């Protein structure tokens, strides 16, 4: 199916708009909207349809387990919605009012799969408008925000899935933090979901999926960072770790043609296969899914 004209609204850190389409080599047009930490909603249009996603996912009890719920709003009455990944329905998509729907990702396999970097597709069918059917592609990722406290502790907004061999599970979620001035240590405390912290002065923050889920659910509970020396803590800061929609795009074409599954990147493959025997941490080669595609 050929892709027709597509327009996207891109949000910057101040949620300002840039309506200039991204040029493509073919007549097809395609763009991606990315969310900085201050963007609360992402918008995109295709034809005379507009769709928006709330960037911040929230956790609720669904079907007896905790689940991440992501909400969206359309400008046309909704007939049906379906969430899927290549070749398979994935998560639950529910129409909750005439123009609003939600995506539910249950804790465990569904949530871990999406947070580890697999894009989620959402097919939307409307009762009016042109076109009557279109597909959204969203990326959901762990992100820090709501930073409060000392500017001497810097916490990277991004937490990135990395390929690190550790028994039967090769997925770690890694963040970064650093401290200005001389300190001997950085520690992180929370009711649960505390990462492994190491690598002074440019600290790595590592979570397994289980720990990551504890850290982001509920999203209202911050992690507390302290840095200091023999005489105790000299700097303190808090930040919340949440699941956030970081990319959003729309098309009225065939989603598999517009967004085909990425192959193994030759540069990632060369990096992966050039590592010394016994290497367990392949984060220098790319993200978790970039490396995973080159391990087969």
pLDDT tens-digit map of 143-196: 999 999 999 999 999 999 999 999 889 999 999 999 998 889 999 999 999 999
Residue 291 lies in a domain: no
Instruction: Give the pLDDT of residue 23.
Output: 30
Average pLDDT over residues 118-146: 97
Is 127 a domain residue?
yes
Residue 5 has pLDDT above 70, yes or no: no
Residue 184 counted as domain residue: yes
Whether 40 and 133 map to the same domain: the answer is: yes
Asked if residue 277 is part of any domain, the answer here is: no
Please report the pLDDT score of residue 273 as a whole number: 96
44 and 111 both lie in a single domain: yes
- 134 shares a domain with 20: yes
Residue 9 pLDDT exceeds 80: no
Q: Are residues 131 and 207 in the same domain?
A: no
Residues 91 and 175 in one domain: no
30-80, pLDDT tens digit by residue?
A: 333 344 556 799 999 999 999 999 999 999 999 899 999 999 999 999 999
Looking at the fold, whether 228 and 90 belong to one and the same domain comes out as: no
Number of domains in the chain: 2
Same domain, 19 and 112: yes
* Segments forming the whole domain that contains residue 235: 144-241
Residue 58: inside a domain? yes
| Distance between CA atoms of residues 280 and 98, nearest Å | 50
Looking at the structure, tell me whether residues 71 and 17 fall in a common domain. Answer: yes
Residue 280 lies in a domain: no
The model's pTM: 0.85
In a domain, residue 202? The reply is yes
Shared-domain flag, residues 250 and 129: yes
- The whole-chain average pLDDT of the chain stands at 88
Strand bridging mode 100-106 / 223-229: unpaired
Same domain flag for 228 and 250: no
């Amino acid at each position: 199916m050929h892709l027709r004209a597509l327009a996207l609204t891109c949000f910057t850190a101040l949620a300002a708009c840039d309506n200039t389409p991204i040029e493509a080599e073919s007549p097809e047009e395609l763009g991606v909207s990315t969310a900085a930490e201050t963007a609360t909603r992402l918008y995109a249009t295709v034809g005379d349809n507009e769709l928006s996603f709330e960037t911040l996912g929230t956790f609720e009890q669904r079907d007896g387990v905790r689940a991440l719920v992501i909400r969206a709003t359309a400008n046309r009455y909704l007939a049906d919605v379906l969430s899927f990944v290549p070749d398979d329905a994935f998560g639950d998509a529910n129409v909750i009012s005439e123009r609003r729907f939600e995506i539910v990702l249950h804790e465990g396999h569904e949530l871990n799969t999406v947070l580890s970097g697999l894009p989620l597709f959402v097919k939307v069918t409307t009762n009016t408008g042109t076109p009557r059917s279109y597909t959204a592609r969203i990326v959901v990722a762990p992100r820090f925000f709501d930073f409060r406290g000392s500017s001497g502790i810097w916490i990277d907004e991004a937490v990135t899935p990395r390929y690190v061999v550790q028994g039967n599970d090769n997925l770690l979620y890694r963040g970064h933090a650093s401290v200005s001035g001389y300190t001997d240590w950085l520690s992180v405390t929370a009711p649960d979901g505390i990462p492994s912290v190491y690598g002074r002065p440019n600290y790595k923050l590592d979570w397994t999926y289980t720990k990551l889920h504890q850290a982001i659910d509920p999203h209202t509970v911050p992690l507390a960072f302290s840095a200091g020396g023999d005489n105790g803590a000299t700097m303190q800061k808090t930040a919340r770790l949440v699941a956030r929609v970081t990319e959003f795009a729309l098309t009225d074409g065939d989603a598999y043609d517009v967004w085909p599954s990425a192959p193994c990147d030759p540069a990632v493959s060369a990096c992966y296969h050039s590592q010394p025997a016994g290497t367990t941490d392949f984060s220098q080669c790319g993200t978790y899914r970039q490396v995973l595609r080159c391990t087969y």
